């Protein structure tokens, strides 16, 4: 595999910005030269150079987006390692025989400081590297694939699949948080991953079936 775009349906690839694909191809031409300095770091690569670097995908992704150059964002030396969403293969079952599953109502914002739709039944999942929404939710949010990046998702014990990654925001408890959102092209669950959860204090009150944010 030479590109994460190979994991996506052709009709989705056709919607990606051509500069993104160009930047990914150019990244691979110089990738070995970047290893000594950047191995294990997240970077944004555009127009032949590293335009941003850092330790976390969500921070680098949002910084890369601000450049307007459609950078290829990757973890150097770990380019094809998928981000894991623990429940990607396990649909939610609300039958009485199942244990209750904690859920949140969250506002997802495409633009910082601008209100967005409130989505219900979002699962706060500490086992998920990043957040994810079904493709239909992404369409409802009017997320533009040409503004996204290439990514990959995997569930524990399963193979991985291609995704489009969007840098958006989640508004919760009166505060806005940067979010690294995967468009799940085949899944049906709404997942809030550690890209956002690690910025919050959350109390899971199991006996009361409550999730308390920033208690």
Q: Which CATH superfamily is domain 104-198 in?
A: Acid Proteases (2.40.70.10)
Q: Domain residues of the chain, as ranges?
A: 4-79, 104-198
Q: Quick one: average pLDDT of 118-134?
A: 93
Give the tokens for residue 100. 């209750």
Q: What is the pLDDT of residues 167-190, one digit of tens each?
A: 999 999 889 999 999 999 988 899
CA-closest candidate to residue 75, choices 140, 130, 124: 130
pLDDT of residue 162: 92
Selected residue with higher pLDDT from 131 and 93: 131
On whether the CB atoms of residues 38 and 76 are closer than 8 A, the answer is yes
Token pair belonging to 95: 């039958």
pLDDT at position 89 over 60 = no
**Cα dihedral 169/148/85/198 (nearest 10):** -30
Is residue 196 within 8 A of residue 176, CB to CB? The reply is no
Q: What are phi and psi of 30, to 5 degrees?
A: -120, 10
pLDDT digits (tens, 9 = 90+) for 6-40: 999 999 999 999 999 999 999 999 999 999 999 99
Tell me the whole-structure pTM to 2 decimals.
Answer: 0.86
């Amino acid at each position: 595999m030479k590109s994460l775009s190979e994991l996506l349906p052709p009709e989705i690839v056709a919607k990606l910005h051509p500069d993104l694909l160009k930047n990914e191809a150019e990244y691979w031409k110089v990738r070995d030269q970047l290893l000594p300095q950047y191995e294990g770091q997240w970077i944004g690569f555009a127009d032949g150079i590293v335009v941003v670097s850092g330790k976390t995908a969500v921070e680098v992704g949002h910084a890369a987006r601000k450049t307007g150059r459609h950078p290829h964002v990757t973890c150097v030396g770990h380019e094809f390692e998928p981000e894991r969403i623990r429940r990607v293969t396990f649909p939610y079952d609300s039958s009485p025989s199942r244990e209750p599953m904690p859920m949140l109502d969250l506002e997802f914002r495409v633009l910082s400081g601008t209100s967005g739709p409130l989505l219900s039944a979002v699962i706060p999942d500490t086992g998920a590297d990043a957040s994810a929404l079904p493709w239909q939710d992404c369409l409802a949010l009017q997320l533009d694939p040409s503004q996204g990046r290439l990514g990959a998702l995997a569930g524990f014990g399963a193979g991985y699949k291609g995704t489009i990654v969007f840098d958006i925001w989640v508004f919760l408890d009166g505060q806005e948080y940067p979010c690294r959102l995967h468009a799940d092209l085949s899944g049906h669950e709404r997942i809030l991953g550690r890209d956002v959860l690690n910025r919050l204090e959350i109390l899971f009150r199991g006996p009361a079936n409550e999730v308390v944010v920033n208690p």
